[in-house]
Amino acid sequence: MGYILLAVQAHVPSLHPPSCNPGQQTTTCESLHGSNLSLLLLGLYLIPIGDGAARACLPALGGEQFNKSDPVEQRQEASFFNWYTFAVSTGGFVGLVFVVWVENSKGWDIGFVVCALCVLLGMLIWIAGFPFYRNQLPTGSPITRILQVLVAAFKKRRVKLPENPSDLKQIKHDEASAIEILHRTQGFHCLDKAAVDTGKTGAWSPCSITQVEETKIILRMVPIFLSAILGYIPVPLILNFTVQQGNTMDTRLGSIRISPATLFVIPTVFQMVILVVYDRFIVPFLRRITGYVGGVTHLQRIAIGFLSTTVATGVAALVEIKRKKVAEDNGLMDATSGIPISVFWLTVQFFLLGIVDVTSFVGLLEFFYSEASMGMKSIGSSIFYCILGVSAWLGSLLIQLANRVTKHRDGTGGWLDGTNLNRGKLDRFYGLLAVLELLSLFIYVFFARRYVYRNDQKVVVDEDNKIPSERAINAI
């Protein structure tokens, strides 16, 4: 619906703002307002709402199709998240190449129609799989269950816990087949009070010990969640500024000149290639050495990504210093393009960003999904995408703070002021990002080393031979 509304607005001239030419001093450009602005915002807001709902549910739905007790399906589940990310990257690649071409050559209205048709086709393919899905029946809102535990525990904060844990409320037998039964664990004892039966009845008191443990699992993830936010702040900033760097450089590949918009394709292609190599070659090799179904643990994989981000930031700073020196040596400090340094100097940082997506992106998605209980799988995926959104917002805030702190007394001279990178201090900003990323890496490692996995990540073994099944090693 969002893309359809944008297509309609792009096609109907009466829904456009008055035309203007910013280069003419006598022309006043008017922004969109009134009902036309409302229609535009409605279309723009519907797209992230739909996209957010799909992204939260698709990984959980895909993960539910595999049985972890079967060695073949356990191996396939680990591979699924790699290929899910590959599919997301493929969609981005098609959008950057085909959809951008359609919008530039055929018009924005046709481009939005193509986007709507792509979403419709994806929905039809998804619906066609209904007869084949292993579908877990919903057990209510996971957020509601968490709030019930927090509220009930607060109300009973003065209640004494029973000495016998079996006296805490257990899950009902008729609910046992619908959700995962969890037993009491150490830590967060204040939440255990939510399962104390004080005689009051209702949805908010008392809660079952399984419901309490679901809440504990989410709370144990919070330190990883917060440190991951810090670790992901530099990623979109490096990507966007790298493309801006590339726009000022020599974008020729032999006799072919690369379009600035095409630069976004480079990290996407790197990510797709690295994902295939990682899943088909690196993971099987590491699995034979470590015994982990994914080659390494989820948290180790995430750490590799954050380390790659730190290195990518340092490399980006060095390349920026080199780019500015070439501009200065050639008297092109005021030029916004055509600096005689090849755009392929950016290849290393693009490659490292591809490693980040293959490791930390997929690792975080796998971690939150696998560690969440059966009734909390979708919220695990939602936490992952919240990390990306909050990190992007904090990145924008960091740019504003860096500019404000580094301004001169006359209000000029911020590191990232203006549109001319040659006069800015992007290299220093990259240095700030490198320090921030290194700090976040230390924080992440501190919490990751203390995290206790709920699920064993070792390859399932045959009961007879006590060795990994050959089917688990060789299956796709």
Rounded to whole angstroms, how far apart are CA atoms 312 and 460? 36
Phi, psi torsion values for 158, nearest 5 degrees: -100, 0
**Domains in the chain and their CATH numbers?**
1-16+33-136 (no CATH), 142-213 (no CATH), 220-458 (1.20.1250.20)
| Residues in Cβ contact with 312 at an 8 Å cutoff, skipping those fewer than 6 apart | 238, 348, 349, 352, 353, 356
DSSP letter at 460 equals P
User: How far is C-alpha 401 from the chain's CA centre?
Assistant: 24
Q: In sequence order, what DSSP letters do the residues of 110-170 get, joined into one string?
A: HHHHHHHHHHHHHHHHHHHTGGG--PPPP-S-HHHHHHHHHHHHHHTTTSPPPSSGGGSPP
pLDDT tens-place values along the chain, 476 residues long: 889 998 998 888 888 877 766 555 545 667 777 888 888 889 888 998 888 888 878 888 888 888 777 778 878 887 888 898 899 889 888 888 888 888 888 888 899 999 999 999 999 998 898 888 887 766 677 888 888 889 888 988 888 888 777 778 777 655 555 567 788 888 888 888 888 887 777 667 778 888 888 889 889 999 999 999 999 999 989 988 988 888 888 887 777 777 666 777 888 888 899 999 999 999 999 988 988 888 899 999 999 999 999 999 999 999 999 999 999 999 888 888 888 998 889 889 989 988 998 899 888 988 988 888 877 877 877 888 888 889 989 999 999 999 888 887 665 677 887 778 888 899 999 999 999 999 999 999 999 999 988 877 777 654 434 444 434 333 33
- Measure Cα distances from 374 to 84, 93, 379, 380, 389 in Å: 20, 33, 10, 10, 25
Closest residue by Cα to residue 325 from 317, 334, 333? 333
Distance CA 228, CA 367 (A): 12
Q: 145-158 burial, b for 16+ CB within 10 Å, e for fewer?
A: bbebbbebbebbee
Q: Is 416 helix (H, G, I), strand (E, B) or coil?
A: coil
pTM of the predicted model, to two decimals? 0.83
What six digits make up the tokens of 81?
A: 């998240």
DSSP per residue over 235-258, as a string?
HHHHHHHHHHHHHHEE-EETTEEP
